[in-house]
């Protein structure tokens, strides 16, 4: 079982698979494969509970509450999608790899078999001549017979090796077909329900049941976070003490979501351009007018001018980026699913 910072993004990816399936009314093999892989990777419930216990010792109460709340939210959303369309998911079938994976390489094998038989017969013919089991045709010297024998032998061995490689590839394709020849969604439902029960055990009471209070209060800004804890944790893992000075995951969560925190996000020396790219990529995940508002707030917090940001945020994906920027952009895109 992976750590929570790896597990949460995988869970979010799984939710996207469920959502896309319902919205698009189809599922390609790649998405189906990812769902199957998630089940095989995380079906050990004991490892999931161990991950929960590890968090109890590694996280402070506030961070733990945020992570568990995010985890519960993802599980609830996936199961809600499944419950509403369970018949659709339960009847889903994977598309065959390359249309019919079991037939892969058959044409290559059928083409090589006659060639193997032909050069095999030729090899046996010249082997008999070399061993003097049969008479050689007139005009064929010992050296000529030996050369033809060696040529036929080399050709036979080459085709045999080629066939072996094709058979191995065919076996690999068969293994892939067998691994993904099962519908994971009913089993995933059972697994995610078990995860849900485990999370409930460790979830603080105040998050399990929130009792609303009715009071005349002034309107406040929306409390919904721009970025969930799973994404923030992944960014923290990539950038903490690299692009910005060391900060806790919880403080980074509060900073990126414009929530109250005493912590100050500070750019490390030489990382200003990559931080501009980070702000750009994160802002692209925000919809509507909030996108420009959030970006402006982050630039002010980091003391980056709009003009500098406008001239630098594309550098990591420009025609002449530094090697460090190329690697940073690649890892960030992987986190953001771009």
pLDDT along the chain (338 residues), means of 10: 78 91 82 90 93 84 83 91 88 56 65 82 78 69 80 86 84 74 89 92 63 35 70 94 94 90 90 94 89 91 89 85 90 87
Q: Are 275 and 324 in contact (CB under 8 A)?
A: no
- pLDDT for res 5: 77
Q: Where are the alpha helices (DSSP H) in the chain?
A: 4-24, 29-42, 45-58, 61-84, 86-90, 106-130, 142-179, 185-202, 205-208, 229-239, 249-256, 272-283, 290-301, 306-312, 323-336
pLDDT, one tens digit per residue, over 51-98 is 998 888 877 777 888 888 889 989 999 999 999 888 888 888 765 433
**Residue 58: Cβ-neighbour burial (10 angstroms; 0-12, 13-18, 19+):** exposed
> Using CA atoms, how far apart are residues 198 and 47, in angstroms rounded to an integer?
11
User: What pLDDT, on a 0 to 100 scale, did the predictor assign at position 178?
Assistant: 73
Torsion of CA 331, 334, 336, 337, to 10 degrees: 170
Number of other residues whose CB lies within 10 A of the CB of residue 287: 8
Contacts for 264 with CB less than 8 Å, ≥ 6 apart: 301
Residues near 145 by Cβ (< 8 Å), separated by ≥ 6? Answer: 126, 129, 130, 136
């Amino acid at each position: 079982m992976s750590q929570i910072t790896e597990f949460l993004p995988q869970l979010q990816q799984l939710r996207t698979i469920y959502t896309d399936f319902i919205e698009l009314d189809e599922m390609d093999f790649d998405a189906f494969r990812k769902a199957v892989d998630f089940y095989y990777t995380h079906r050990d419930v004991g490892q999931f509970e161990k991950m929960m216990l590890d968090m109890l010792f590694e996280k402070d109460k506030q961070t733990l509450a945020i992570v568990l709340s995010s985890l519960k939210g993802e599980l609830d959303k996936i199961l809600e999608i499944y419950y509403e369309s369970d018949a659709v998911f339960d009847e889903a079938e994977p598309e065959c790899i390359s249309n019919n994976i079991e037939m892969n390489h058959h044409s290559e094998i059928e083409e090589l078999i006659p060639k193997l038989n032909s050069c095999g017969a030729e090899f046996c013919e010249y082997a008999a001549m070399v061993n003097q089991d049969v008479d050689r045709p007139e005009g064929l010297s010992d050296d000529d017979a030996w050369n033809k024998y060696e040529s036929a032998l080399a050709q036979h061995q080459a085709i045999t090796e080629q066939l072996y490689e094709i058979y191995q590839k065919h076996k690999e394709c068969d293994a892939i077909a067998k691994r993904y020849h099962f519908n994971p969604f009913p089993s995933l439902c059972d697994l995610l329900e078990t995860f849900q029960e485990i999370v409930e055990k460790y979830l603080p009471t105040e998050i399990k049941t929130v009792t609303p209070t009715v009071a005349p209060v002034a309107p406040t800004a929306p409390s919904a976070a721009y970025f969930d804890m799973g994404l923030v944790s992944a960014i923290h893992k990539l950038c903490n003490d690299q692009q910005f000075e060391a900060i806790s995951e919880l403080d980074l969560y509060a900073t990126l979501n414009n929530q109250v925190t005493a912590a100050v996000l500070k750019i490390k020396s030489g990382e200003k351009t990559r931080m501009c790219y980070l702000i750009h990529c994160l802002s692209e995940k925000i919809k509507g007018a909030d996108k420009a508002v959030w970006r402006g707030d982050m630039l002010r917090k980091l003391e980056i001018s709009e003009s500098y940001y406008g001239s630098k945020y594309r550098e990591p994906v420009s025609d002449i980026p530094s090697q460090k920027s190329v690697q940073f952009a690649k890892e960030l895109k992987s986190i953001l699913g771009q």
